[in-house]
Amino acid sequence: MQVLFAPLQGYTTGIYRKAHAEIFGGVDAYYAPFLRMENGRPREKDLRDIGDDHDLITGARITGAMVNGAKRTGAKTIPQIIANSVNEFRALADAIMQKGFTEIDFNMGCPFPMQVSRHRGAGLLSDTQTVKSIMDEIAQLTVKNSIKFSVKMRLGQNSPDEAFALLPILNATPLAHITLHPRLGKQQYKGAIDFTSFVRFYEECRHPLVYNGDITSVSQMRKMESGYPKLAGIMIGRGMLARPSLAAEYKAASDTSAASISERDLLNKILEMHGKLYEHARSTYQGDNQILSHIKSFWEYLEPSIPKKAFKKIKKAGNQSEYDAAVLSLNME
């Protein structure tokens, strides 16, 4: 199955995606955090983020050439948009197409209250009329611009009935695939996954289906692969942030001669990746507070993969000297 890296605001930035692709690999596509409207126009910060890695990891599959001295990985970045109307959708899609991307993902799954209250993300799932108008726009853009669209969604905001009401509309739309997180928006990331509804969606969906939700190990990925053989792929977010080697380990597991990565090698790669992000933070931001506030997010999900003592030192560091010493202590574990 394809392995897709889910977008997480504030974590999977352009520099993170580049570094992960170069150091860990195994990912077939990186999804950029969603582009949204701000003050009546596409948010510039989000556009800059997808522009940062467009040459290195593009919207079309590429192979081993060099770009600006950096090795191309063969992975791809797919921008994502979030919108509450066909007008917002059109403006955001136009902005991305102007940057040369040929694939776009539409977010109908974000559970965060700020977006839901604005009728975006999971907040859109109960509005069949607006979804239909956006799907009609997708159909037109697909034919007119030869661009691929996919959808990332939840089962609904308040009820799985919402997803199944939309499924005939989605089935009739020319989509590359659908990614389904089998929770409700109101659950956010808590509570049980609804596998009963997932199986029904899996059986009734006419598009390639990607599973998303609570995947943290290769064994889970293999279980999904064997249990749902029609799955096109798995999208992983927090699980990949916690264990950045997960995709590569899954790909290697298909080769019985390939050994799983050792914990020491994993830590070395984490430190190598951190070095790239830390260098970027120091060259982009000023002062200890700004630099540390940006780089510390790198470690937030990594607690299961690094020694606890060093993790606590990193979290407590109040200036760069303390932080550097804390990171250095990882090499001594």
Q: Is the pLDDT of residue 234 over 90?
A: yes
Strands 41-42 and 37-38: antiparallel
Mean pLDDT across the chain, nearest whole number? Answer: 90
Cβ(239)–Cβ(212) below 8 Å: no
Distance of CA 217 to the CA centre of its chain: 17
What local confidence, expressed as pLDDT, does residue 55 receive? 46
What local confidence, expressed as pLDDT, does residue 137 receive? 97
- At 6-18, the pLDDT tens digits run 999 999 999 999 9
What local confidence, expressed as pLDDT, does residue 51 receive? 76
- At 29-47, the pLDDT tens digits run 999 999 999 999 999 999 9
Q: Is the pLDDT of residue 60 over 50?
A: no
What local confidence, expressed as pLDDT, does residue 304 receive? 87
For the chain, percent of residues with pLDDT exceeding 70: 91
Nearest to 30 by CA among 10, 2, 66, 70: 2
Report the amino acid identity of residue 177: H
What local confidence, expressed as pLDDT, does residue 75 receive? 79
Cβ(249)–Cβ(217) below 8 Å: no
- At 179-207, the pLDDT tens digits run 999 999 999 999 999 999 999 999 999 99
- At 74-85, the pLDDT tens digits run 678 999 999 999
Burial, 230: exposed, middle or buried (Cβ in 10 Å; 0-12, 13-18, 19+)? exposed
What local confidence, expressed as pLDDT, does residue 52 receive? 55
Query: Which helix (DSSP H) or strand (DSSP E) does residue 333 occupy?
Result: none
What local confidence, expressed as pLDDT, does residue 74 receive? 62
Please give, one letter per residue, the 3-state secondary structure of 49-68: HHHHCCCCCCCCCCCCCEEC
Position 71 confidence tier, pLDDT thresholds 50, 70, 90: very low
Cβ(2)–Cβ(210) below 8 Å: yes
Please state the rounded mean pLDDT for residues 295-299.
95
pTM, two decimals, is: 0.91
* Least confidently predicted of 49-63, 111-125, 187-201, 308-322: 49-63
3-class DSSP assignment, residue 316: helix
Position 277 confidence tier, pLDDT thresholds 50, 70, 90: very high
Please state the rounded mean pLDDT for residues 45-51.
89
- At 87-142, the pLDDT tens digits run 999 999 999 999 999 999 999 999 999 999 999 999 999 999 999 999 999 999 99
